[in-house]
Chain A
Amino acid sequence: MIADRISQDVQRHKERVREALKSRLPEVVAREDIVTAPTGRRLRVPVRFLDDVRFRPAPPAGDDATPAAGGEGLPGLDHEEPAVEVELTLEEIADLLFETLRLPNLQPKTAEDETPQEAVEGVARQGPAPRLDRRRTLLERLKTGGPLREDHLRFRDARPRPRPVARAVVVFVRDASGSMDDDKRFRVRAAAFWTLSWLRRQYPHVESAFVVHDTAAEEVDEHAFFHVGVMGGTLISTGLELAAEILEARYPRQEWNRYVLFFSDGENWPGDREDLIAAVRRLHEACELVAYGEVEAGRGPHRALDILQPLAAQLPRYRAGTIRHPAEVAGWLGAVFGGGGHVA
């Protein structure tokens, strides 16, 4: 009996650990081994045993050098003991992340210009003979007994239903200028990773395309997108224009939910200002969502985030935010895909 009870307690402890893990999600989701993990692999996340909370003496003064690691967390997560490793699949981490961010489900658009599909959606008492549901009718008769009567008849009910567009495409656009170093590229990668992960939960079929640019844009494959090194200056508008062309050529609007996400460290060339604004406006007209992630805290007068700032109020499907640190990826996702629950 004690053994049964302890199994229950172990289970509950695991739940508590998962809850506690949520507070560390921003840090966990930006871990390199997670973002680059082969699909399906189980990942080990070290979590310490939940500590007993009670009044404890303050650490002696001058002892401030003690690990900053536990510095911010709740006592629930800081411990004297060595850590246990919680094994999670990527799926589970994603579940936790999206649950915490409370992202609203994306509304797939419906295809307007196609013949609506009919779908069987219930049972009716009247209907054309071919739709007679023999099984249900028989059941009704059995319920009352006696001969078959008119009110025993049951028909399959069919209603026209607009067919949602089940496909989505996301074009990732990245600044490949000289200032985009390894760390910044990693932040782009983490953001792209979780964006795809989220879209794949929303649509049965998701495709992606990748564009890098310096002063001119080029479509590349996924690997090159994340790894390609240093090129010249920065004209973000060129990348966005190529994204628009790719969408028009290969992903017709009626058939695809279209997303464009672009990343830069914000050091756009001054001459690109108007073109950039215009490009974002045009894409906004053509897409379900246009989002910008600025991977550096830029200062200068030509910082792309500031230039685009006025658009945020005008364009409902434009979102932007900074990702200055891997742990900000989660917050950025929350800002881009909605729902107040920011974790960063």
Chain B
Amino acid sequence: MWREALPELRRIAEDLGLEPRETQFFEVTAHELYALAATGLPGMYSHWSFGRNYERERTRHDQGRARIYELVVNLEPAQAYLLDQNGDAEQAFVAAHVLGHVDLFGRNAFHRQQRLDMDRVLAAASLRFETYARQHGPQAVERTIDAAHMLMWHATPEEMAPPHPPADPPPDPYAPLFPGARRDPDAGRARRRADAERARRSLGERDLLRFLITHAPVEDWERDILATVREAALYFLPQARIKILAEGWASFWHKRILRAWRAPQGWAVQEARLHAWVAGPGDRRLLNPYWLGLTILEHLAAQGVDILSLAREESDRSLVGRIDERLVYSDDTLREVALQIEARREPGDPPAWEILRDALVRAVPALPEVDVHVREWDARRLVLEAETPVEERYARVVLQALARLWRGEAWLVAPGQELKGVAV
């Protein structure tokens, strides 16, 4: 029985230097596991997009293209959901993998930004949303969630809100004593006033939901939905920035935990096979986060890097940026791609391994994909500005949703583009 192995696995993890905090293990049906994976968190409110996620994962599962073995959620205590169809050997393997994840929850700065009561925040919000649906109709609620989801990845933590510049300093009571030092008080004041005005109106704000929550003429229930979705985004965003690190980390450590563990007779073979399946190079091997993360971490560890400290501040971008020449030419998969690049390289280009590294860094998904900020607004019009050109068909739908929340027009100005959305 795999549960009996848990204390032993945990002890081995701790001997290896990991510090996984208390974790609850649940065995759930495939339906429940895929439902959880679709929403990302227990307690999540109802929305069609989660049904879409569920269908997508189930379709992949049914076609044999992918299988979810477990889901670990960074909460207090940590929660691990294991598929009840797994055999004992698979569960022990998954449990070792989970311990790696839970260690990183406490170790990594991005994970530490996640609030650990998010499941309860969402469960409470779900109840309120159901009330709103009864009061204002499910369609109105769905539309508002739709709009909030379109903007959620622009959320930024409060520390990153534009600072309020200091107001006018109080008059200096000693100034008359030093007439020679007196400067023109008006010059600085005008600039400060302008800055304060910009800050009061949140011009330049990049967190579009925070902006709407503060300034849009929406009703309280709509504001509540916007705020809840933003809170969820602040939970998911840091996690999205360390996907390669987290999966690599969990794979790196489950290998070592299982290696040190005296598994019951016959379990080891299956584990090796399962490990090869999860962490081996798959179809799209370069971007398989398990494989890529594990490969880089193994390389760094072999170089004598203290990865237990390194993981504290690491993100996917910084991790992938650590790919070096030696790694590229010692790994079969990477070398193969590098040789292809080599064949096409023009004289004067950087070395092939650098081109490969930079391409991989660029391939790490960025959220938000386009930086957008508030440029100007009045009661009728909201004008946003993007720093790079946007895909127009998508942008129009977003602007229409924004216009509805603004009860007017929403514009987006981007290099070479000027798009408008009107509330319908």
Q: Which A residues are closer than 8 A to B by beta carbons?
A: 2-3, 5-6, 8-16, 49-50, 52-59, 74-76, 78, 81, 84
Contacts and interface: CB of A to CB of B under 8 A. Distances in A.
A53 B398 contact: yes
Which residue, B394, B395, B417, has most C-beta atoms of chain A within 10 A?
A: B394
A132 to B, nearest CB: 48
A184 to B, nearest CB: 34
B392 A6 contact: no
Interface in B23-54: 31-32, 34-36, 38-39, 42-44, 46-52, 54
B55 interface: yes
A138 B369 CA distance: 75
Nearest to B396: A75
Contact of B369 (A13, A55, A76, A84): A55
A10 B46 CA distance: 10
Contacts of A53: 146, 150, 394, 397-398
Interface stretch (B93-101, B110-118, B330-338, B383-391): B383-391
B56 A81 contact: yes
A11 B36 contact: no
Nearest to A10: B51
A9 B54 contact: yes
B48 A16 contact: yes
Contact of A13 (B49, B154, B391, B412): B49
Contacts of A6: 34-35, 38-39, 50-51, 54
Contacts of B126: 5
A57 B55 contact: no
A58 B146 CA distance: 22
Contact of A12 (B31, B48, B154): B48
Contacts of B183: none
Contacts of B157: none
Given A13-B49, A50-B48, A56-B395, 6 more contacts: A9-B51, A12-B47, A12-B48, A52-B150, A55-B391, A56-B391
A8 B391 CA distance: 32
A201 to B, nearest CB: 28
Contacts of B46: 5, 8-9, 12
B275 to A, nearest CB: 27
A50 B386 CA distance: 25
Given A2-B39, A59-B391, A54 B55 contact: no
Contacts of A56: 369-370, 390-391, 394-395
A12 B55 CA distance: 12
B149 A58 contact: no
B372 interface: yes
Contacts of A16: 48, 52
A57 B389 CA distance: 6
A170 B62 CA distance: 46
Contact of A50 (B38, B42, B52): B52
B151 interface: yes
B368 interface: yes
Given A8-B46, A74-B397, A13 B52 contact: yes
Contacts of A54: 149-151, 153, 368-369, 394, 398
A10 to B, nearest CB: 4
Contacts of A81: 56
Nearest to B130: A5
- The prevalent SS among residues of B at the interface is helix
Interface in B75-106: none
Given A10-B54, A54-B150, A55-B369, A3 B35 contact: yes
A180 to B, nearest CB: 39
A137 B274 CA distance: 77
The residue among A49, A55, A57 with the most chain B CB atoms within 10 A of its own CB is A55
A53 B372 CA distance: 15
Contacts of B397: 53, 74-76
Interface residues on B, range: 35 or more
Contacts of A49: 52, 55-56
B270 interface: no
B380 interface: no
Contacts of B39: 2, 6
B59 interface: yes
Contacts of A50: 48-49, 52
B125 to A, nearest CB: 13
Q: Which of the listed residues B32, B390, B391 has the most CB atoms from chain A within 10 Å of its own CB?
A: B391
B393 interface: yes
B310 to A, nearest CB: 31
Contacts of A11: 51
Please name the 4 residue pairs, one residue from A and one from B, whose CB atoms are nearest each other, closest first: A9-B51, A13-B51, A10-B51, A6-B35
B382 to A, nearest CB: 14
Contacts of B54: 6, 9-10
A205 to B, nearest CB: 40
A75 B393 contact: yes
28 contacts: A2-B35, A2-B36, A5-B46, A6-B35, A8-B46, A9-B51, A9-B54, A10-B54, A12-B48, A13-B48, A13-B52, A50-B48, A54-B151, A54-B153, A54-B369, A54-B398, A55-B150, A55-B390, A55-B398, A56-B369, A56-B391, A57-B388, A75-B393, A75-B394, A76-B397, A78-B393, A81-B56, A84-B55
A9 B50 contact: yes
A69 to B, nearest CB: 13
A6 B35 CA distance: 6
Contacts of A58: 388-392, 417
Contacts of B368: 54-55
A101 B56 CA distance: 31
B51 A57 contact: no
B376 to A, nearest CB: 18
Contact of B391 (A10, A14, A57, A74): A57
Interface string B226-259: 0000000000000000000000000000000000
A68 to B, nearest CB: 13
A307 B75 CA distance: 76
Interface string B150-169: 11011000000000000000
Contacts of B372: 55
Nearest to A56: B391
Contacts of B412: 55
A18 to B, nearest CB: 12
A11 B142 CA distance: 14
Nearest to A16: B48
Contact of B55 (A5, A13, A76): A13
A5 B370 CA distance: 32
Nearest to B154: A55
B394 A9 contact: no
Contacts of A52: 49, 149-150
A139 to B, nearest CB: 37
A55 B208 CA distance: 12
Given A6-B54, A9-B50, A9-B54, A55 B42 contact: no
